[in-house]
Copies of this chain bind each other. A is one copy, B any other.
Amino acid sequence: MKRVIIVGGGFAGLNAAKKLCRNPEIELTIIDRRNYHLFQPLLYQVAMAALNPAEIAQPIRSLFTGFRNVRVLQEEVIAVDRTAKEVQTLEGAYSYDYLILAVGVQHSYFGHEDWEEFAPGLKTLEQATEIRRRVLTAFERAEKTKNIQKQKQLLTFVIIGGGPTGVELAGAIGEMSRFTLAQDFNHIDPKLARVILIEAGPRILPSFSTKWASRVARDLEGIGVQVWTSSMVTDLDAEGVTVGEERVLCSTILWAAGVQAATLSQKLEVERDRQGRIIVAPDLSLPENPEIYICGDQSSFAHGVDQPLPGLAPIAMQQGRHAALNIQRTLKEQETLPFKYIDKGQMATIGRSRAIVEVGSLRLVGTFAWFLWLLIHIYYLLGFKNRFFVLIQWAWSYLSNSRGARLIVEKDWRFYKKKT
């Protein structure tokens, strides 16, 4: 029995595990800090109260029911000892013959970690709940205040970062205030909410073609989102953001601006690219450790492509499967194969019924693209149950223009905390 450890239950790790678990000669251990796999492309829908956390998350354990050769551990990996071939967690050490590292990335505040408190990012369910709490609370507080200045500030939402996540968040806040909340308030008009999408580069969606990106910018403006490009945020706090010379008062700031390698992968002493991602061999292994594979967002793959592959779910899935294939080949004493990315295109949604889809030279934008986006996302959602519920929930939201999950959940569960 060969021991294979997969660290990380994201798209890369899970796709590797699904291949390897069927090989009875492999003793497979999956380690993740969380007990669930998160379908990150829909995380913004949780933040915007359209979906429940459980609808985009699946307990990892439940995906491997019945496989006696698979062990799922909820633990935090703190180090990899490449000489001893050991993964170290807070609770112990686990030996491996082969290791797949797929721990992803984390938000980067470019040295301003203290900004996180005022501008949460969107990588985890907890952050999504926090963003939902902030956005909904801003409307509640605006309804109560009699101070017009304060009301304006409360109804100003700033999203920093014009990539797909920033665009999707801005579009969703724009639509939520225009449609879902429009009738619920008597003292304010949620339609007056000001949503500002700030991008440091010259245009939003830099990975998409220029023409379509400007079409998206116009669509965003159509639902009340102001798009500020070539604008650099130089400071931010609880009262607002500073963009160059300009001070924008706002009470809600969301961060979608940058990522960096996860702490664990930062600790590895290996060659990296400018963004801190680990440079991998053509077969996805570490050049100096052929028994270690690096997959997903944390890997920098630059063989036979113009520039290193970006951090996207389809790439992570393909890499996970490829690493699994190469391990299986090695076990059969075959040579490993180089990884080849099959471009499945990229997509982003703008609000409730528009999307942009680019597959090779095919470009779609509008309602049809949105349906395509919907179908693909539902298809990839893991597990039949989730697909089914998400479909119903969406159908409902679409038909009724309501959002099912508009709860402001508090951070602390304790009642007697003040006394103790």
Interface residues of A (CB under 8 A from B): 34-36, 52-55, 57, 59, 61-62, 65-66, 68, 70-75, 91, 106-107, 109, 113-114, 116-117, 120-121, 123-127, 129-130, 136-137, 140, 143-144, 183-187, 385, 389, 392-393, 396, 400, 402, 404-416, 419-420
Contacts of A53 in B (CB 8 A): 52, 405, 407, 409
28 contacts between A and B (CB under 8 A): A34-B408, A35-B136, A52-B52, A53-B409, A54-B404, A57-B407, A59-B407, A61-B185, A66-B183, A68-B186, A71-B186, A74-B140, A91-B144, A109-B416, A113-B420, A114-B416, A120-B413, A120-B414, A123-B415, A124-B410, A124-B415, A126-B413, A130-B413, A385-B402, A389-B393, A389-B404, A411-B411, A411-B412
CA distance A385 to B406 in the complex (A): 13
Point out the residues of chain B lying under 8 angstroms from A400, CB to CB: 385
Could you tell me if A75 and B116 are in contact, using CB atoms closer than 8 angstroms? no
Q: Which of B124, B125, B184, B415 is A107 in contact with, Cβ under 8 Å? A: B415
With beta carbons under 8 angstroms apart, the residue of B143, B144, B385, B419 that contacts A404 is B385
Return chain B residues, CB-CB under 8 Å to A187.
71
Q: Is the CB of B414 within 8 A of A73?
A: no
Q: Which 3 pairs of residues, A with B, have the shortest CB-CB distance?
A: A126-B413, A54-B405, A52-B52
Q: Which residues of B contact A137 (CB under 8 A)?
A: 74
Number of copies of this protein chain within its complex: 2
Q: How many Å lie between the Cα of A54 and that of B45 in the bound state?
A: 14
Q: Judge whether A414 and B65 touch: CB under 8 Å.
A: no
- Chain B residues near A143 (CB-CB < 8 A): 72-73
Q: Give Cα A53–Cα B133 distance, bound, in whole angstroms.
A: 14
Nearest residue (CB) in B for A107 is: B415
A130: which B residues are within 8 A, CB to CB?
A: 413
A34 neighbours in B (Cβ, 8 Å): 408
Q: Are B73 and A113 in contact (CB under 8 A)?
A: no
Among B106, B184, B411, contact of A61 (Cβ-Cβ < 8 Å): B184
Do B392 and A385 touch across chains, with their CB atoms under 8 A apart?
no
Q: Please, which residues of chain B bring their CB within 8 A of the CB of A183?
A: 65-66
Partner of A414, one of B52, B71, B72, B117: B117
On chain B, the residues within 8 Å of A408 by CB distance are: 34-36, 74
A236 to chain B, nearest CB (A): 14
Task: State whether B116 touches A416 (Cβ < 8 A).
Answer: yes
Give the most central of A123, A137, A143, A409: most B CB within 10 Å: A409
Q: How far is the CB of A387 from chain B (nearest CB, A)?
A: 12
Residue on B nearest A412 in the bound complex, by CB: B126
Given pairs A36-B407, A57-B407, A411-B411, 11 additional interface contacts (CB within 8 A): A35-B406, A53-B409, A62-B184, A91-B144, A106-B415, A107-B415, A116-B416, A117-B414, A126-B409, A126-B410, A411-B413
User: Do the beta carbons of A125 and B409 come within 8 Å of each other?
Assistant: yes
Given contacts A53-B409, A66-B183, contact A396 B385 (CB under 8 A): yes
The distance from the CB of A144 to the nearest CB of chain B, in whole angstroms, is 6
Contacting pair A414 B116 (CB below 8 A): yes
- How far is it, in angstroms, between the C-alpha of A183 and the C-alpha of B411 when the chains are bound? 33
Q: List residues of chain B with CB within 8 A of the CB of A415.
A: 106-107, 116, 121, 123-124
| Chain B residue at minimum C-beta to C-beta distance from A144 | B73
